[in-house]
Amino acid sequence: MMEVSAKAMADRTNVGLAATTMDFPLTLEHLFEHGTRLFGDQQIVTGVGPSRHCYTYADFRQRVRRLADALRTWGVRPGDRVASFAWNTYRLLELYFAVPLVGAVLHTVNFRLFPDQIAYVVNHAEDRLIFVDTSLLPILEPVRHRLSTIEHSVTMENGAIAERREWALDYEELLESGNADRDPFVRVPETAAAALCYTSGTTGNPKGVAYSHRALTLHAFMECMTDTLRVSHRSTVLGLASMFHANGWGLPHSCTLVGAKQVFPGPHPTPSTILQTLVDEKVTTAAGIPTQLTTLLAEIERTGVRPPALQYVFAAGAAVPASLIAAYDRLGIAVVQAWGMTETAPVGTLAWLKPSLEERPIVEQVAKRATVGYAMPGVETRVVGDDGHEVPSDGKTIGELQVRGPWVTGSYFKEPNRTDSFTDDGWLRSGDLAVVDGDGYVNLVDRAKDIIKSGGEWISSVALESALICHPKVFEAAVIGVADPKWSERPLAFAVARPECAGQISEAELRDFLQPQFPKWWLPDHFVFVDAIPKTSVGKFDKKVLRQRVAEGVVTWT
């Protein structure tokens, strides 16, 4: 055997070797080509019952190519922004690929924003073209003339006869004008933007987050891993969260990559239609916000119908109560809590149970799964205290959750110099307060703007809400801090009773329920019973509205 001297080895180590891999940019075109070429017979389904639409990946491939060619003929150029104002349907999926594959950027507009915010995000993005579901036209009409950069609109049918409008093109007519036999795609660098989403704008104007082809491709690969969302060609996936919410949680891209059967709820989904869809399509994987899981569970309990193939439900957007996880466990369905933001494309953490914890008592296992878990491959997280150092992993010390990774944004669209959301060393500041336990699980304590400081001590509104929802008579609960002359702030709880328990629940009953779980000074001084709790455009409790109602005297207590 030939010996190599230490000096020679060091010389070799110090000489950089040129990479020999192909120049193969990570773009959505490769995801699209892989999935649609290999899994042409796989289905894509929208809706339920008689109006159900079903076609194959082969059909999808041809329609995307035709649409891409039509967009180029119409004049869409690389870098242009194209807006969608749409429900989760197969047509929106076609836009998810046709727009970025001609080098343009798909801006999925949140149609649940206030009218002024809708006008703001469209104008801020400088969208040239907007695709609108016909049933959403009444929402867009009041602000249509304020959309200064829109050159044309395209209407998309979702069950009703279209009203011909002189200012709008018809989606199917536009698509038919394209030629699938031409090569319609535009090759762009992997760093080029492919999609644009805006935050929900709960504090000021929404902020834009542009995702690159590279970020979305890497995120799609991550979601197909066994220890993440487990998306594969054997999966049937139903995304319940609106696709304008944090880029559809990445599922349109990961499902297309591996040829998974994709199921879309279509316009105006209800717990009844969602349950029917889960049953009819034999859905194996669903993803949605906790409110959707709560109402779905109520529908399952009401009807006695259990989705026969459903294995996993991924939940994010708000804290998932341990009681909800346990209720789905009894049905043989695993609820896996995730954490992410618009800024993280969006998945950052998942609460899978580590093998080393599987021998612990069930109550401890469920408690771990009720956290947001730990960072996904490719993502790094840390929890930083006020002193700028990471907090100890003791499950008690509170700090801010910060994150970085290849699909985490480094700046906001048109605001490259904005620094308040980023640390000096390049981490995204989430605004979520959290603790880390000895097993590495991150548990969110509260949003920085929602945590209650009473007598100089912190009270977690999230912890109180999660406990209240465990009460058998409570359907939903939200807790805010209200001014107090002695303690600065005190918690005020809002509760919605389950329909069968309306008028049968008292403050004393809820206080007694909470008392064994928290220090006495944590307990809300008052409980307000309401018919519903206001929610943001992405389904989270809108505590800003609750605070406003208290300040205006709309909400009172004795």
List the catalytic residues.
199, 343, 453, 458
CA distance 403 to 369: 20
Closest CA to 151 of 213, 77, 237: 77
Give the C-alpha separation, 256 to 262, whole Å: 8
Residue partners of 15: CB distance under 8 A and separation at least 6: none
Token pair belonging to 550? 């208290």
Find, among 337, 331, 395, 397, the residue nearest to 366 by Cα.
337
Q: 534: Cβ–Cβ under 8 A, 6 or more apart, which residues?
A: 541, 542, 545, 546
State how far the Cα of 506 lies from the Cα of 514, in Å rounded to an integer. Answer: 13
- In degrees, rounded to 5, the angle at the alpha carbon of residue 376 between the alpha carbons of residues 388 and 237 is 140
Measured from the Cβ of residue 410, the count of other Cβ atoms closer than 10 Å reads 10
Q: How far is CA 425 from CA 220, 403, 418, in A?
A: 27, 11, 14
CA distances from 364 to 13, 60, 180, 371, 396 (A): 49, 45, 55, 11, 16
In sequence order, the 6+-apart residues with CB closer than 8 A to the CB of 286 are: 237, 238, 239, 240, 278, 310, 312, 313, 314
Q: What sign does the CA torsion over 230, 235, 241, 245 have?
A: positive
* Cis, bond preceding 346 (omega within 30 deg of 0): yes
Which residue reads 């910060």 in tokens? 402
Residues 6+ away with beta carbon under 8 Å from 406? 214, 215, 218, 378
